[in-house]
Amino acid sequence: MGIDYLRISLTDRCNLNCIYCTPLEKNGYLPHEDLLRHEEIARAAAAFVRAGIKKIRLTGGEPLLKKGVVELVRMIKAIPGLEELVLTTNGIYLGELAAPLREAGLDRVNISLDTLKKETFKKITGSDGLEKVRDGIMKSLKAGFTGVKLNVVILKGINDGEVADFAKLSVEHLLDVRFIEFFPANKRSAKLSEALFTTAETRGKIERALGPMARQPSARGDGPASVYKLVGAKGKIGFISGRSDYFCGSCNRIRMDCIGKVYPCLFSPATHNLRALLRGGADDYALFDYIKNIFLVKSSYKKDSPSSGHIEMSSIGG
């Protein structure tokens, strides 16, 4: 499969402290001077597009913490040849930024939300921000994005009782709800050894509560998700089965973190670093040539490769 999808982490900072993400062993944030500046991010993105990238997703940390993120979206969206620009956020600041982001050219938005209950939200994230996230969802639905998705990580014994409630949102709103199998990626999340709630279990809960779902044809933007729809629903339901399924062979993405390190695979080490080239006066051809070499090594890595190990999700953006 050709590589045409780039995920760019804008910052390692986050305003939540989720139990499976930001590791307790992390020692502070990266120095500000190490982070790529707006112009550097946009120039790197343009070089990736020249090399064949068609879709870019902005991630974090929490990307909406990046100062001037609306203008950065405008800069990236203006890159010739880029077909789609999307963003994943925890939604805390989305209420105030949804309309400006859409006006700047953002096509779609994914919102990470694992519970609809205030007390469970605080247990998972360490924050009281559930109502802000709800507001962000509603503002996004009104902003005119081509798609709004909810990403829900199901954790046994924590939020698996809310599966049907989340599925109902796809009936009531033009919203795609995606249920994601929990995948331990660092020391902190590894402690949640009993948290896996499989796709089969999640599907069973939905159909027992709300009736059968119809499988939908694969569409652009589905990624590794298997997509279904409840009868009469406005939106869809997706399942991403990182533990019970294996989709490395169809992966079309690479990642660049907020300091310019590039990861051909979520489970690979950083094999390349663009920051030195960006700050060292390299011309556009040199950037293009360097990026093509990144594409060549992607096939060497998979989630069960010997290289796989600790993943700093709050820096690389998942």
Q: Which of 177-186, 191-200, 296-305 has the least mean pLDDT? A: 296-305
Domain count of the fold of the chain:
1
Cβ atoms within 10 Å, residue 296 = 10
- Taking alpha carbons only, the member of 95, 100, 110 closest to residue 55 is 110
Residue 194, pLDDT > 70, answer no
Sheet hosting strand 226-230, strand order edge to edge: 213-215, 226-230, 237-240, 176-181, 147-154, 108-112, 84-89, 55-59, 5-9, 253-256, 261-263, 272-273
pTM of the entire predicted model: 0.90
| Range of the structural domain that residue 292 is part of | 5-316
Q: Strand, helix or coil at 214? A: strand
Mean pLDDT of the region 34-59? 97
pLDDT band at 28 (very low <50, low <70, confident <90, very high): confident
- pLDDT band per the 50, 70, 90 thresholds, residue 307: very low
- Predicted confidence (pLDDT) per residue in 277-292, tens digit: 999 989 999 999 999 9
pLDDT tens per residue across span 202-238: 999 999 999 999 999 887 766 778 999 999 999 999 9
Mean pLDDT of the 192-201 span: 77
Q: Give the rounded percent of residues in the chain with a pLDDT score beyond 90.
A: 70
b/e code 247-280 from CB counts within 10 Å (16+ = b): eeeebbbbbbbbbbbbbbbbbbeebbebbebbee
**Per-residue confidence band for 245, with pLDDT thresholds at 50, 70 and 90:** low
- Confidence band for 191, pLDDT divided at 50, 70 and 90: low
What is the pLDDT at residue 178? 97
Tokens encoding 87: 């963003």
- The overall average pLDDT reported for the chain is 88
Prior bond to 144 cis, omega within 30? no
> For position 237, which CATH number holds?
3.20.20.70
Phi and psi, residue 63, nearest 5°: -65, -25
Q: Whole-angstrom Cα distance, residue 97 to residue 252? A: 29
- Rounded CA-CA distance 258/255 in Å is 10
Q: Specify the DSSP class assigned to residue 163.
A: H
Please determine, for residue 293, whether its predicted confidence score (pLDDT) is greater than 50: yes
Q: What is the pLDDT of residue 71?
A: 98
Question: Which of 311 and 286 is assigned the larger pLDDT?
Answer: 286
Give residue-wise pLDDT tens across range 154-185. Answer: 999 999 999 999 999 999 999 999 999 876 55
- pLDDT digits 0-9 by tens, 80-92: 999 999 999 999 9
Task: Report the alpha-carbon distance of residue 237 to residue 228 in Å, rounded.
Answer: 5
